[in-house]
Structure 1
Amino acid sequence: MSNHRTNESFSTKHPVWAVVIIELLLLLAVSAAGTYATLKELSSNSPVLISFIPIALVLIIYFTLRQKWGTLGFRSLGSIPRANWVYYAPLVVILVTICFKGFRPVSLSEILFYLGFTLLVAFVEESLYRGLILHTLLGKGVKTAVITSSLLFSVTHVLNALSGQNAAETVLQIVYALLIGAVLALLMVKNRNIIPLILFHFLHNLIQFVGNDNTSSYLAVDVVILVFLAAQVVWLSLSFKKPVIDAPLSRVS
């Protein structure tokens, strides 16, 4: 028994501390990259590139060496029960809805850059929040894991308040991130597959980047999406049956 406890990882023995360390390291990396980019007068996307590229490499190496890919939800889409695909439908509706904001003219080079940039962000953020953090906290209970991972995901977006946007836009973005985080976390617990979440995150950010810059003119669209997301959180929460929701991700092969 004592030998088993000795072999347990730090995240298993101290899940809360593990999550705190992950979040602090992420915030530190992004903040440091932001300071460097400001001093060097680099583009607004530079802090994310400077911090997320090494983070992505570390995650890939860690997942590979520790054989964490399957445990953290990197599985075939065929592993998702056919009946459960309906729970992804609202995400498709959200993607279509944000398209109503329209698009701005973009060059081929911009499109290629945004494809790589948004895929990088989607992989890193989903791997951290719906992968490592959610999985680490499941031992504390599904509610705790979902709520905490969603709150941390929204807190990370507070950094956007330093980029010059006003308070109202920042609050809207935090609430938006909180609800999206909750929906994606619930979908992760339900289907144990992170691939659709990365795909949604990637497409969502890509559409936002190539969309119209004047987002203040489309406040009504954002409010509708927030209501829609809140409804999906309720729908997903009610869809769970206790024997399924309490099963940790690591028990699924």
Structure 2
Amino acid sequence: MDKLASLSKPKIAVLAAFLYTAVMGVGMFYMKTVRGITYGAPEMMTVFWIVLLGLNLLNVFWVTRYFGWQAIGFRTLNRRQLLWFLPSITVLIAMWVVFLSGLATVSLSAAQWQLFAIAGFTTLLVGIGEETMYRGIVLHAFLTTNRVRWAMLVSAIGFSLLHAVNVFGGVPLLGVPAQLIMTFLFGFLLAPLMLKLNNIVPLMIFHWLWDFVLFVSPLVGEQTNTAVGMVALLNLPIEIIVGIVLWLQIKQVPERAIANVPDSIHV
């Protein structure tokens, strides 16, 4: 008999998120201490893709066993609500324009192009895995408590705490708080966007393209890397302002967010 089935959905989600974070921490430790690769270096992708592949397979287990794909956000997209996403998408486009402009001025080796391909695959796994866990499993599990803002807060905090393990990958201890704040704000915006859009796929695509351009821009040169990073900072006020507006708007669990949830996930 499945002992976890007797637990509430929030408890299962907390367990799933804890294991996700623990595996990431072990992967970071191995990458830094055994392979000598520091977090943020494009070369980390050559190691981390297998960790992320395993985490995505683990997500498939959690979703298929305890939640269901519609229940965690694979539903009909509410296209009209994409306007809320437009400011952040504009920043992302600007980041890519800066990156591609820099890329056009340099000549990359075959090994560097191969690293681009690996980074593309790895960051895709990041986008799918982290969105499935935090805007999918965690957010929707806590929506069953009928406390929508609590669910969004837990989702954002859980996503932020995931990045604390980056310290094992070589991120300076004093730099961790800043990273936690930035990732919390990222989750602060994406949690209500998930409820507005009613579909998790746009978040996955955005997350993937955002991480990819940040991780590969160092291959193009320090100037391009710095410029991409500066443009990315423009999203911080957007996350705060748009996030606050959405949090004020969403006062209860949207019916469409739970309409396709199996009865077994209701508390």
Name the TM tier (shorter chain). Answer: 0.7 to 0.9
Shift of 1:148: 1.1
Cα distance in 1 for residues equivalent to 2:123 and 2:159:
16
Asked whether the 8 Å contact 2:91–2:234 carries over to 1, the reply is no
User: How many residues align structurally?
Assistant: 240
User: In structure 2, what is the equivalent of residue 143 of structure 1?
Assistant: 149
1:131-157 alpha-carbon deviations (Å, 9 max, x no partner): 111111112311111111101111111
Cα distance in 1 for residues equivalent to 2:246 and 2:19:
31
Which of the residues 170, 183, 187 maps onto 2:189? 183
Q: Percent identity?
A: 24
Which ranges in structure 2 are unaligned for 5 or more consecutive residues? 38-43, 262-267
Structure 1 residues 137, 48: closer, same or farther in 2, change over 3 A?
farther
User: In structure 1, what is the equivalent of residue 45 of structure 2?
Assistant: 45
Alignment of 1:149-160 (within 5 A): 149-160=155-166
Q: What secondary structure, in the 3-state scheme, does the structure 1 residue paired with 2:68 have?
A: coil
Cα distance in 2 for residues equivalent to 1:162 and 1:33:
9
User: In structure 2, what is the equivalent of residue 204 of structure 1?
Assistant: 210
The alignment's C-alpha RMSD in Å is: 3.0
User: In structure 2, what is the equivalent of residue 23 of structure 1?
Assistant: 17
Cα distance in 2 for residues equivalent to 1:7 and 1:158:
27
Shift of 1:58: 2.5
Cα distance in 2 for residues equivalent to 1:194 and 1:40:
35
Shift of 1:112: 1.3
Q: What secondary structure, in the 3-state scheme, does the structure 2 residue paired with 1:203 have?
A: helix
What letter matches 1:52 in structure 2?
L
Q: After alignment, is 33-42 or 203-212 more displaced?
A: 33-42
Cα distance in 1 for residues equivalent to 2:208 and 2:15:
26
What letter matches 2:160 in structure 1?
S
Structure 1 residues 36, 210: closer, same or farther in 2, change over 3 A?
closer
Cα distance in 1 for residues equivalent to 2:62 and 2:139:
17
TM-score, normalisation: structure 1: 0.80
Which ranges in structure 1 are unaligned for 5 or more consecutive residues? 1-5
User: In structure 2, what is the equivalent of residue 162 of structure 1?
Assistant: 168
Which structure is richer in relative contact order (CA contacts within 8 A, separation 6 or more)? 2
TM-score, normalisation: structure 2: 0.76
